[in-house]
Amino acid sequence: MFRAVRLIDPASGRDEHGDLLVRQGIIADLGPNLGQPEKALLVQEEGAVLCPGLVDMRASLGEPGYEYRETIASAAEAASAGGITTLAALPDSVPAIDDPALVRLLRARGEETGSLTILPYAAITRHCGGEALAELGLLREAGAVAFTDGARALRSGRLMRLALSYACGFKARIVQHPEEPSLAEGGAATEGELATRLGLPSIPAAAEPILVARDIRLAKLTGGAVHFSHVSTAEALDLIRAAKADDLAVTCDTAPPYFDLNEMAIGEFRTYAKLSPPLRSEDDRLAVVAGLVDGTIDAVASDHQPRDADDKRLPFAQAAPGGAGLVTLLSVTIGQVHSGNLSLMQAIALLTDRPSKLLGYQAGGLAKGAPADLCLFHPDRSWRVEAGALPGKGQNTPFDGRVLQGKVLGTWKAGRRVFG
């Protein structure tokens, strides 16, 4: 039983101090001044917030194929430490998740962890190769929550049109990495004065809105639903904002680096800050913050891309892009609360109820009879991010060395404590 905590549940609008009782993995009751049953295990922490377990709608698990970077077990450990109880896994593994049996296997492997529900994305194209559509209907039937080629943009407009049309028939989203491939190929940093000074091959920021504009037009043409991941530029957000005003089925998410960091974080060739898409200008960062505030951005995802030391200990242009993000997801997002940009309710909604609805999976809520997937955190307690000492294999965090406010104290999956 949780006693005298602040209960925040964006799904119901609940924000009150009170208690929550769990029986047999289910929320039995919640509200102010509940009586304490005999032999109830009491959890009480002054100043703590109890919210639904976080729902991370974009993460790479490494397994299968890249187990040296991350495994399902190690990702589950990191997710629990970050308050995450439900996670949507990208399909660009080896083999790619383009077969119904692999979709079912990922779901089952999540259940085996006992701490993490895995919702598999399935590949749009076979092997995530961008050449021929996968069997979208069979993959959806097997349990795929949406379709994406992961960190690879779908280059072909013809294939994107077909994918949107087919997915529309069974009410599924196409999730796009919004970066025009021919403009992004070989690039390492956002085009501008910093990339020029450091002598780095660059990617114009326009690569993002160019592909966003194309796919919004295709969504309008087909009636399909398109979701843009890790949006990072003002121009792309303006296009998405306008598409929403036109009632098109267009949604998007971003990741903490794009509202907390700008391109200066790469410093003197700091490869932990080499991401895909690359970190942007300060103006773009502020535009992403504005997108969070006005609701243009539907969710915040970890965009967890684990890399091992050999992937990152290379010259900046050759180092693999990607940052580990499971453990820092909540804390960096709460930073926007401390900055006065978001309320705590808004921040938690971006990490629970809103991604849950996008994925079409009932999670991220506090209600009687719901599974007791819970995150207990203290919004004011600080901790230091130390690469090499984080839970899980992925240590390549762009926030290495930062002191963050907002610390996860405990995570529960179906009423069982899995962290803290």
Q: How many CB atoms lie within 10 A of CB 357?
A: 17
Asked whether the beta carbons of 259 and 288 are under 8 A apart, the reply is yes
Tell me how far apart the alpha carbons of residues 157 and 178 are, in angstroms, rounded to a whole number: 13
Q: Active site residue: 92, 253, 303, 373, which one?
A: 303
User: What would the two tokens of residue 390 be?
Assistant: 């984080």
Q: Which residues contact 255 (CB under 8 A, 6 or more apart)?
A: 58, 230, 300, 301, 302, 303, 325
Tell me how far apart the alpha carbons of residues 254 and 294 are, in angstroms, rounded to a whole number: 14
User: What would the two tokens of residue 259 be?
Assistant: 């509202």
Is 92 one of the annotated active-site residues of the chain?
Answer: no
User: What would the two tokens of residue 9 be?
Assistant: 């549940």
Residue 232 is given by DSSP the state: -
Q: Considering only CA atoms, which of 412, 379, 230 is closest in space to residue 304? A: 230
Tell me how far apart the alpha carbons of residues 274 and 265 are, in angstroms, rounded to a whole number: 9
User: What would the two tokens of residue 348 be?
Assistant: 């938690």
Tell me how far apart the alpha carbons of residues 119 and 54 are, in angstroms, rounded to a whole number: 13
Q: CA-based angle 81:83:84, to the nearest 5?
A: 105
> Cα Rg for the chain, rounded, in angstroms?
20
Tell me how far apart the alpha carbons of residues 400 and 385 are, in angstroms, rounded to a whole number: 5
Tell me how far apart the alpha carbons of residues 190 and 151 are, in angstroms, rounded to a whole number: 17
Tell me how far CA of residue 344 lies from CA of 17, 88, 186, 213, in angstroms.
14, 23, 39, 32
Q: Could you give the residue numbers annotated as active site? A: 303
